[in-house]
Structure 1
Amino acid sequence: MSVGVWDLMELVPMRCRWIERLRHCGKTLLRRQRRLIRRLKKMYLHSWRSDELSMLVGAKTTGATPLVIACRNGHYDVAEYLIERCKADIEQPGSVTFDGETIEGAPPLWCAAAAGHLPLVRLLVRAGANVNSTTRTHSTPLRAACFDGHFVIVKFLVENGADIEIANRHGHTCLMIACYKGHIHIAKYLLSLNADVNRKSVKGNTALHDCAESGSLHILKMLLGHGATMDVDSYGMTPLLAASVTGHTHIVEHLINVEYGLVTRQQRIDALELLGATYVDKRRDMVGALALWKRAMDDRFPADGSEPIPKPKDIPRIEAYDYAVEPSDAQQLEELLADPDAMRMQALVIRERILGPAHPDTSYYVRYRGAVYADAGRFARCRQLWHHALDMQRAVLPPLSPLTQSSLYSFAELFSYMLAERARPPLRGRIVPPVTFEDIDPVFRKALSEIDRGMALLDSKISIDREHTLTTLQRVLVISLHLAALMAKLLEEPECTEEVSKKIHKAVYSLVKLDIKVRQGRSALHVACSPEGGRARGAAWGEAACPALVALMLRLGAAPDARDADGNTPLHLVCKLNPCPAEVVRELLTHGAHIDTVNYEGETPEEILKSTQQSLSAIVNPLKYTTLKCLAARTVKNYRLPYRHVVPQCLHSTIITH
């Protein structure tokens, strides 16, 4: 007998009530279980001696002590027990994660304040915690509370002696972070305490800059009411230009209002023109951009007869921008609207003129426009713009800058994409042009030039973080090797002429002869034979070790028996790959690598292969690459025969390597 619809409707709420009862019972049992576990822990810890307890509560798990973990996660009863019964050190810092970022050296009070746990903050302060303790980046608990807008905690910390003017390592104060995050109540409170409204960070920005970037008009008005001034940062940016770059029209309109008299006429013109460029690139609003540029033009040539301010005439025309020239009157501006490409080039020209090549946004939007062209299949225009951005970066940025690395990496990705698309059937009739040596070579030369600058930096007497410099140098080397691998693959194409072949050999030889050493003392061939040689930033670039590139480097004189800091040769590193590229192994052995060379751990390439469940005999015939000299050296080594005064000096190194 089937159940009717009305019967089902009566059963559903009954079923839901039972589910709710079961869920409630489950929660009650879970709470009881947790209370029981806490009681057992306390009973267990009560039996420990004080020195044992001190060692226990001071131990770190994943970089954090029990007290730091309890404060980060808001476990008041645990923290109270650790402080009062276990006498945990309330200042012992640890590592914690907030929003995916690891904070090193964070004291318990900083963790509680950052996470917004007011009861824990009160507990720690009552226990005598230093309210001005800092993390490794010099961030205080007060600044941590300001970051996420925990107003009650901010007020409590200040009332208990927290210094509102302690800045982090970047020079950012509590007022700056409150303004940037838009926490109006905290900003108002700090201003009531006479916080320094015009204090500058390491890069020269003030709280007014941060407010203009975040777009909070109410806080901006408060800052101006407390005497904030229009200072410039290290890039020459005023808060007005900062608002124009980020596209906060309401901030710009407030600051350029003639009644306030905050800015000059020239500053107002620059702000309107830069805001128009932001409308083009960020909002894709051509009509809005044109209206802003018209207002700027009217300010340049006012109808009231004031002295005009024409645009600079000595600005060079740039090929990457299609030799675009800025309009000098309203009619030329009107003509721009009919040509969207011309509008986009105007935005780039204006941004470079006002911000200058050193500002990150200048090169960013040039690269962005190039990427848009690449998506549309206009690869030549993309490369043209990206070369201009790369040249700007190399001219003004220090060696091995992350921005320069990013530009080089984008070129490598573009060429890889083009090659991959050519190998597939055309999509909707879209034909991708071939990648030629002439496309890759200019980028490759710029990458090598960046490596040269990095090596010069390492050799100089300037105080630098050597390990960090070696890491960034290796990243540029990886990109250079990828570009070299693309050129090596061109040699395999049937249409590769003898002239192009010579150019490729000459280009790759310029990399080999650098004799570069990066992290762990690895050479360029080491890196080419390691996983890093085929991947960068987690993005796969095809093979882990490109056989064509390795073969080319070996033919051009790369040392197959070079050792890194761990005694590994390139063959050792190749054998660590799974699967191991057989072609690369054969190339290394053919060019003189020893199959039985041991690293400083005493491992041969064959033993490394076995550890990854691979077999050397499945790749090559070991006997083919084993010489009598190798067998003799291994015999001397294995049987520990005395050889110092028996074997000629020239053979000592052979015995040692085996």
Structure 2
Amino acid sequence: MNNPEIYLNRTYDESNKQKCTLLMIACLNEFEDIVQILLNYSGVDLEVLNDIQLEERDESLLMYENVTVLWAAVAIDNVNIVKLLIEHGAKINHTTKTNSTAFRCACSNGNMNIARYLNKNGANIHIAKIHNETNLILTVYNEDLKMVTYLVDELGCDVNESMDNGCSPLYFAVDRGSFELVQFLLNHGARNFRSNHDQMSPLLLAAEKRRIDLVDAISPQCSLLEKIEAHELLGSAFACGEHGSYNLEQSFEYFYRALELRFQHNLPKVLRLSTVEVFDNRQECQTIDELKKLQLNDNHMYIEALLVRERLLGSTNTKYRRSLQYHGAALADNAEHYRGIEFWLYELNLRRQYSLSIDMEDLRQWASMFSDMLRNSLSIPIVSWQTIITVVIEELEHHTKDFDYNLHTLLFLITIVSQMLSKSMISYDDRKLFYRHIHSIIQRQYVTQTYRSSLLHLSLSNHTSANDYFIDFICKYPSLHTVHLLIQCGADVNARDAVQNTPLHIFVSQSTIVDNTIIQYLFDAGSHADYVNALRETPIDIATNSNIKQFIRTKTKLSLKCLCARLIQKNSILCHGKIANSLINFVEKH
């Protein structure tokens, strides 16, 4: 064969977007004899970059890009192929797209034999993955004490080398909850310092996780102030239900210890200068007497915990903000919806103040909260609704990733208002305010990215659902009240989706119940019963109910303009250049 290296060194497109050389295919299938045969060709290139998929521990498949056959051989734990490749000159320190090496693969798999072999043959043990994720950090994360011991005791890896975000091996040992690893790293000089990631040190992280044993293990390496703050955070963690069953007795105990130490060593807390209404305008306790006054009041103890968390973790910390959300939800579950809303609004305003990302599920939870309130015949604070609507619109305007999900959330919020309006739960001035907001939303002409469905399309579809008990209890579609409100605020009743269906098409094609009120609303607002979709079907053509078909026929009064348009379309008369451009679009809809 002439130029066999052309075939040997090219990559072949495999299933699942894999790109592999013949040598890589043989390696992944562990055909050692074929690997040996291919290596005997002098022209074979061991450094060709491949894209391969490997099965993870959870049995999912993950794509790895720019990997060499040596990297793959280590990844599948085949020591014989690894040795063959090294003996034939494979580059041992090649890095993948994410800067992973063959040695890192061996560490990840916990394969001590391959790791030792690679090290003996010149592997650079200090090459870290992107973001400076060292091999030691990886093995700590995997809770592999044997490999950690090898890296530290035999290879001398630095126990304090951190990732770019400041997370150290000790931080990850605490995060994984391994007492053995924490003790090992401390015995080898690991230090307690805060990460840039969440401003938490390993000691604070242990306290946050309620791991008293880890707090006790790390504390001797820390300053007195760090120990005090660990006690305070432990106290706050025991008061917070999101960490498990709350224990206010232990919470009080650790707050008490911290205050004792502060008093003994003259280390007063540095408190914020102003108070916040959501925290009842309270400041943290500075004395044991102040703390004792809170002991028998669960709500006051929880407020104390939140104030402590805000001081120690910071207003932007995810764990602190989750505590605010959890407390708000707990209050709502206890039928204290208005108080719960205050905490949720405070948390949401922190995100907006510090330009933090807003999760689509968090916005959806607002619709769930409001729905639960309506279910219990409670009025929804207008300011709260306005705030959430504003935030949802901001997300729709600036982020496309979760666009359709957020657009559905917007629909649910509008439906909630339509229900309030129908029950006369709103004053005249507030009604005008709602109408103004919804008119503004309609003017933006939002449509889903998937099917180009408008809010009116969605409100008429029985496929529209939130898969949330409270929302689905209140927001049932098709929704007469929502349709009425959207039309009142200027929704286009003849808007087209991706397959040219109008809102009327959507409703009649899915409706099995004879409810002519919605159809009448659409007709009164100018809906055309003779508009066709992409399959040249009118609403009558696709109506699933004979009574609805008959109702549409009796209500359809075609204008001369519509009749002319249908005649042009029926006879395929070319009209471009013969009628005004403004009429061409009208004709094409018939």
TM-score range, shorter chain: 0.7 to 0.9
Is the Cα contact below 8 Å between 1:490 and 1:496 reproduced in 2?
yes
Structure 1 counterpart SS, 2:166: coil
The verdict on how the C-alpha distance between 1:111 and 1:53 changes in structure 2, with shifts beyond 3 A counting, is closer
**Structure 1 counterpart of 2:422:** 492
Higher relative contact order (CA 8 A, sep 6+): 2
CA offsets 1:446-495 (integer angstroms, 9 cap, x no match): 233224434664xxxxxxxxxxx313243333222211111101222266
Structure 1 counterpart SS, 2:260: helix
Higher mean C-alpha deviation, range 485-494 or range 111-120? 111-120
Which of residues 144, 148, 153 is equivalent to 1:187?
Answer: 148
The verdict on how the C-alpha distance between 1:112 and 1:236 changes in structure 2, with shifts beyond 3 A counting, is same
The verdict on how the C-alpha distance between 1:630 and 1:226 changes in structure 2, with shifts beyond 3 A counting, is farther
Which residue type is aligned with residue 99 of structure 1?
Answer: D
**Structure 2 gap segments, 5+ residues each:** 39-43
**Structure 2 counterpart of 1:346:** 304
Structure 1 counterpart SS, 2:341: helix
The verdict on how the C-alpha distance between 1:498 and 1:177 changes in structure 2, with shifts beyond 3 A counting, is same
Which of residues 355, 360, 368 is equivalent to 2:326?
Answer: 368
Structure 1 counterpart SS, 2:268: coil
Q: CA deviation at 1:135?
A: 7.3
Structure 1 counterpart SS, 2:422: coil
Does residue 589 of structure 2 align to residue 627 of structure 1? no
Within 1, Cα distance between the matches of 2:537 and 2:36? 54
Within 2, Cα distance between the matches of 1:161 and 1:572? 70
Which of residues 161, 173, 178 is equivalent to 1:211?
Answer: 173
Q: CA deviation at 1:362?
A: 0.7
Is the Cα contact below 8 Å between 1:139 and 1:167 reproduced in 2?
yes
**Structure 2 counterpart of 1:554:** 487
RMSD (Å) for aligned C-alpha atoms: 4.5
**Structure 2 counterpart of 1:416:** 371
Which residue type is aligned with residue 246 of structure 1?
Answer: K
Which of residues 439, 444, 466 is equivalent to 1:509?
Answer: 439
CA offsets 1:511-570 (integer angstroms, 9 cap, x no match): 323444563565544554567853269997353543322321121012233345665544
Within 2, Cα distance between the matches of 1:334 and 1:199? 43
Which residue type is aligned with residue 489 of structure 1?
Answer: Q
Give the TM-score normalised by structure 1: 0.72
**Structure 2 counterpart of 1:269:** 228
Which residue type is aligned with residue 567 of structure 2?
Answer: T
Within 2, Cα distance between the matches of 1:129 and 1:573? 62
**Structure 2 counterpart of 1:448:** 389
Higher mean C-alpha deviation, range 95-104 or range 271-280? 95-104
Which residue type is aligned with residue 351 of structure 1?
Answer: R
The verdict on how the C-alpha distance between 1:133 and 1:312 changes in structure 2, with shifts beyond 3 A counting, is same
Q: CA deviation at 1:572?
A: 5.3
**Structure 1 gap segments, 5+ residues each:** 1-49, 423-432, 458-468
CA offsets 1:19-42 (integer angstroms, 9 cap, x no match): xxxxxxxxxxxxxxxxxxxxxxxx
The verdict on how the C-alpha distance between 1:337 and 1:452 changes in structure 2, with shifts beyond 3 A counting, is same
Q: CA deviation at 1:337?
A: 2.6
Is the Cα contact below 8 Å between 1:244 and 1:271 reproduced in 2?
yes
**Structure 2 counterpart of 1:44:** none
**Structure 2 counterpart of 1:31:** none
Does residue 335 of structure 2 align to residue 377 of structure 1? yes
Q: CA deviation at 1:227?
A: 5.0
Within 2, Cα distance between the matches of 1:538 and 1:120? 56
Within 1, Cα distance between the matches of 2:419 and 2:256? 52
Number of aligned residues: 568
Q: CA deviation at 1:617?
A: 4.8
Is the Cα contact below 8 Å between 2:367 and 2:471 reproduced in 1?
no
The verdict on how the C-alpha distance between 1:278 and 1:157 changes in structure 2, with shifts beyond 3 A counting, is farther
Q: CA deviation at 1:361?
A: 0.4
**Structure 2 counterpart of 1:173:** 134
Q: Give the 5 Å matches for 1:233-632.
A: 233-234=195-196, 235-257=198-220, 260=221, 263-281=222-240, 282-283=243-244, 284-302=246-264, 306=265, 308-398=266-356, 401-402=358-359, 405-419=360-374, 422=375, 433-438=376-381, 441-454=382-395, 457=398, 469-493=399-423, 498-516=428-446, 519=449, 523-528=454-459, 534-535=465-466, 541=472, 542-563=475-496, 567=500, 569-571=502-504, 587-598=521-532, 601-604=534-537, 606=539, 609=542, 617-618=548-549, 620-622=551-553, 624-625=555-556, 627-628=558-559, 629-632=561-564
The verdict on how the C-alpha distance between 1:557 and 1:280 changes in structure 2, with shifts beyond 3 A counting, is same
**Structure 2 counterpart of 1:428:** none
Is the Cα contact below 8 Å between 1:177 and 1:210 reproduced in 2?
no
Structure 2 counterpart SS, 1:535: coil
Within 2, Cα distance between the matches of 1:619 and 1:319? 60
CA offsets 1:312-358 (integer angstroms, 9 cap, x no match): 34443333333343222223323333222222221111101111110
Within 1, Cα distance between the matches of 2:227 and 2:310? 17
**Structure 2 counterpart of 1:639:** 571
Q: CA deviation at 1:579?
A: 6.6
Which residue type is aligned with residue 374 of structure 1?
Answer: A
The verdict on how the C-alpha distance between 1:288 and 1:648 changes in structure 2, with shifts beyond 3 A counting, is closer
**Structure 2 counterpart of 1:16:** none
CA offsets 1:577-636 (integer angstroms, 9 cap, x no match): 68799665654444233344455x4454649948xx777955852563462433432332
The verdict on how the C-alpha distance between 1:113 and 1:483 changes in structure 2, with shifts beyond 3 A counting, is farther
Which residue type is aligned with residue 137 of structure 2?
Answer: M
Structure 2 counterpart SS, 1:394: helix
Q: CA deviation at 1:248?
A: 2.3
Within 2, Cα distance between the matches of 1:496 and 1:324? 34
CA offsets 1:291-311 (integer angstroms, 9 cap, x no match): 222221122121xxx4x1212
The verdict on how the C-alpha distance between 1:76 and 1:206 changes in structure 2, with shifts beyond 3 A counting, is same
Is the Cα contact below 8 Å between 1:444 and 1:480 reproduced in 2?
no
Within 2, Cα distance between the matches of 1:576 and 1:190? 66
Within 2, Cα distance between the matches of 1:156 and 1:172? 22
Is the Cα contact below 8 Å between 1:137 and 1:168 reproduced in 2?
yes
Higher mean C-alpha deviation, range 382-391 or range 130-139? 130-139
Within 1, Cα distance between the matches of 2:132 and 2:195? 13
Structure 1 counterpart SS, 2:579: coil
Q: CA deviation at 1:386?
A: 1.8
The verdict on how the C-alpha distance between 1:55 and 1:197 changes in structure 2, with shifts beyond 3 A counting, is closer
Within 2, Cα distance between the matches of 1:243 and 1:361? 13
Within 2, Cα distance between the matches of 1:130 and 1:270? 49
CA offsets 1:246-292 (integer angstroms, 9 cap, x no match): 222222223321xx4xx333322222211211122225222222222
The verdict on how the C-alpha distance between 1:586 and 1:491 changes in structure 2, with shifts beyond 3 A counting, is same
**Structure 1 counterpart of 2:581:** 649
Structure 1 counterpart SS, 2:62: strand
Is the Cα contact below 8 Å between 2:565 and 2:586 reproduced in 1?
yes
Is the Cα contact below 8 Å between 1:390 and 1:407 reproduced in 2?
no
